[in-house]
Structure 1
């Protein structure tokens, strides 16, 4: 039994002629889990944004390395704070020195003494509380503040509060965000172990497609999909291999698929996967690999193909093929719903990072017509509403070939499989684009 058939057999109710979104996601999860990148390299931290950790990073130091002040103010022993003090009671202390960030104060303290301290400065021994300077009245060497302004231990950062020495700071499979880069830098580590980039080859198909720079001709359209896919893959952090535009010629299509399988871990095509297509893409895919062709119960993006293309003898292994629809918006929707999570798994990301983007709850300004039985993705524009849930408006023409409304939108209104029509004012789920496309 082929690998594609094995996965299909594991899914309850698998029907390639009417496959639900959840079933597609489950299928691709299983397929991607067997195609994860394993090769590793060590790179400079500055080059690691978006890369996937190959090993746990264990903290060689505690962060912060010492107790320090969270405020500009005055450090003192919180034991002097009175208990049950009247609302107008105050505390008066003698200021005996100044502690600056990066220069610990090492003077001698007597009971009732305080040290002027800057944010980040090491807390002098015996002092555990900081009163912010804005609460204070300073008269010569004396500082006075309301007793009710704070409690013992306030405004002190404890050593190791963020990370303890020997504690895992980041786990294998973490995709390094700007915050993660900062965390690694706080440990003093200039290099990080990462998995190599996932290599993804992509190309467009069809005699009706024009490359940029060609003169217009009747019945032809310019190739927008290659540039959309390039942007999606680049944002994801893949190594992208652009194999250009392939005409409806069986030999050329077969050669391009073999080349893509040789050079890449995954292959993305657009166009030619519908039943009854006049071109040769579907037939060539079937000849070259282990393929499944689906009619997904969704809009846009109903036709889709997935499979494994073997590498030439001697290279070993297979490349995962995603055959996407030809319409530009359908390409983006199927990429976000299906391909992106699968590629993240192949990149070696842990499960949490591979989930589809989280859904935001928003109130629909518009009524939206929908019949139960398929998942629909409507382009929408979400706006904040002070003191209330965000609102979402449908963004222009929803045709699957209309990119202008995709540009206008900042999210996809997700109308779930069993869901019916939406009335104006109803709550809906929105898949936001920020950081994704």
Structure 2
């Protein structure tokens, strides 16, 4: 009964716009006091500090900073030019460019909100000028931005690894194939809309133009090579790769010599705020996690579900449904921090690979970023496009369908995301 009351209290506080971190901390403190007395609060400050200073979490602000430098340093513009010269001749080519550049930007920032803010401010106005509806422009920008949390590096993956005590490097590797499949599927849907509504082509394919833009963007291509090559090759950890990404972004931006300092300042401030919110969530989750662990809630949940079924496919189906519902109401960071410590004992008892499950969680949360009422990425795209969220959602449902198909494929054909993990690490 106490657990139910605390959960209801948590949901009520979230519904009246109490910050999630504050609500988590308050419920955790109340739970500890009611079960163990006020003496249990002596060390909460130290516990919160220790929980938010894990080495792996340092990667979060580093990747956010790398993305900010990349966008302010003119790197994004050169990537757009190259991708446009490569696939702009296809009908609906600007939508393809949007997805292709998001695919690349995802390999630097690890944040879908940062991706949609950076790409949307550049590409959505161009798409509207070229005759694309504002609803379609917002939908394709929003859905492709969610590739940022599937393809490495991924901030939600870093949080999951810290919460589940598993390898963030293996999670990054597991995200490569699903991310590429998602990008291909999104391009297929974009092409369908382009044919149906006769969207324009951008430019005829011109090999000298491709060569020119490739050479211009060549220094930028070193960024994913440094990040992914270092991680996959076992030369650096994810946190060290984040530091290298910042250094490489500075070097490449200096090479281009056109850094927008005011833009960089704004992006760094926004990134600092975003990181502070995540770290506060992590610190607050320590209190709630301590209460749940001492109350044996994760173990009770595992026993309850395993008493219904021990089949992995059925357990994954239940958890997929659960995370899809959670994604409607919680941001990805909050969902991971709140739920993962509770379900990890169930995953362990059912014999499910925690890396495989981490990818499933990430895909669920990518879908959650596109589904109202929270829909943080979709709302950002709608704000940039000045479009109604419900009208955009009518278009976006087709792109969300692609992400859902990738989720089902990765859930029930684990070799799709895991064969690279097996090759590199096992």
Instruction: Give the TM interval when normalised to the shorter protein.
Output: under 0.3
Larger-Rg structure:
1
Larger relative strand fraction: 1
